[in-house]
Amino acid sequence: MASARPARGATTWCGGCGAYLAVPAGARSVRCALCHAVTRVERRHALGLGFIIKGLINAFGASPQRQLAGAGAQQTTMPLPASYPRFRGKKRALLVGISYAATKYELRGTVNDVNCMSFLLRERFGFPADSILVLTQEDGDTYRVPTRANLLLAMRWLVEGCSSGDSLVLHFSGHGLQKLDTNGDEVDGYDEALCPVDFEQAGVILDDEINETIVRPLGPGVKLHAIVDTCHSGTILDLSYLCRLSRTGYWQWENHSRRPELAKGTSGGLAISISGCSDSQNSSDTTALAGATSTGAMTYSFIKAVETEPGTTYGRLLSAMRATIRDNGGDLGIPGPLGAFFRRVITFSCAQEPQLCASEPFDIYRKPFLL
């Protein structure tokens, strides 16, 4: 008997890279936006969960559990590279921009995102230049190329030795995807993941691993902000609370701790993530004037909100970011010296809603945003 076509809202996994894919109603195949491989829908649905897990293992070289175990061993044995900044001030940042150059899923604007974010941190928030670690493919230092191993080392550098009063920032601009949740801690059944430049060979970095590396070590008085410009990034740090914000300004925190016994919180500090879109959405680059700078839509909207509303709160920041994206970048662009990095944005190529998550709930219209 012929297999039935998938119902509206069906999902599957890419046979090329393992990414989570939404299947249009009635479709018999779907093309991955990340690696452009075409996956037959009926065959993968018919073979069931065992085939999906086997495909993920083949695509990434190891199961999520084995990846996590291997990374943990690596983190405890590998010393930090000598070329990483040794300045241990109260403010430090890790900025990652991956273009995936010379691949079929190459991105524009990720390095520009990093340059703009570095400028913002230095000029607006007083981060010393020698406390900012940048990872891009263009760097000649092999330890600053954003491979999976280097990203984990750099995340460890960010939080190592942190103490009360420290302000830490992680900014990531690149690809993200979803994978099947295997330990039952995700409300929607999927883990979110970052794609290092070598993710096809070395594997992705799951949200479980990110949480363990940069969230759980945060002690009392330490504050971490993660600004993540990728697809499927809503809960990329696996933080316990997701803020639902309506267009009318109504907000409430949702508890996403499906398994509280797994201890996904900090060690007394505060972790906040501002991400480009919800777990089910895609993020995009901006489309700019000829010769102008290409940037991530989320990064652009974040910097514009910070520059146009100094002293803002988290609620006003998030609302301003969403309004910028809904209004195709706005009509004035970013004022001041930072505007030289951007030029005027014409349109954004897709709809996305920036998200706010935190390790603990707070009043988003009373708490000031400060890095």
Catalytically active residues, by annotation: 175, 231
| DSSP tag of 232 | T
Residue type present at position 225? H
The CB-based long-range contact list for 157-161 (8 Å cut-off, 24+ gap) reads 157/80, 157/84, 157/85, 157/94, 157/133, 158/92, 158/93, 158/94, 158/133, 158/214, 159/213, 159/214, 159/217, 159/218, 159/224, 160/80, 160/217, 161/88
Q: φ and ψ at 142, to 5 degrees?
A: -60, -25
The tokens of 166 are what? Answer: 């420290």
Question: How far is residue 153's CA from residue 360's CA, in Å, rounded to a whole number?
Answer: 26
Question: How far is residue 103's CA from residue 101's CA, in Å, rounded to a whole number?
Answer: 6
Helix and strand numbers (H, E) in the chain are: 8, 17
Q: φ and ψ at 260, to 5 degrees?
A: -60, -25
Q: Are 100 and 117 in contact (CB under 8 A)?
A: no
Question: How far is residue 352's CA from residue 278's CA, in Å, rounded to a whole number?
Answer: 8
242 three-class SS: strand
User: Which of 154, 240, 235, 144 is closest to 193 using CA atoms?
Assistant: 235
User: Which of 113, 214, 117, 108 is closest to 168 using CA atoms?
Assistant: 214
